Amino acid sequence: MKPDIHPIYGPVAFRDQTTGTLFLMRSTLAVRADQLPSITLADGMTYPLVTADVTCDSHPFYTGKSVVVDSAGQVQRFRRRYRLDG
């Protein structure tokens, strides 16, 4: 790898805005650590904090609370409109 061309990749805390769950993972957002708010966790370390609107903790697909949209009526209406039925 070429030296000095890759961004800093360090630990960042992500908070789900909906549920308040905190995730600690590595990200290139660590570059902007001085521009982000910070949080001190139970391990005594301080990490930059990023608030996310949706994470796997609140997304309907991952929580199993997804809404199934019935599209059968839409297909039938399309077929009627363009006379594709028979």
- Region 4-28 average pLDDT: 90
Instruction: Give the mean pLDDT of 21-43.
Output: 87
| Spatial distance between the Cα atoms of 73 and 7, rounded to a whole number of angstroms | 50
Greater confidence (11 vs 35) lies with: 11
Query: What gap in Å lies between CA 77 and CA 86, rounded to an integer?
Result: 14
**Residue 24, pLDDT score:** 93
29 contacts 38 by C-beta, under 8 angstroms: no
pTM for the model stands at 0.62
The pLDDT assigned to 71 comes to 64
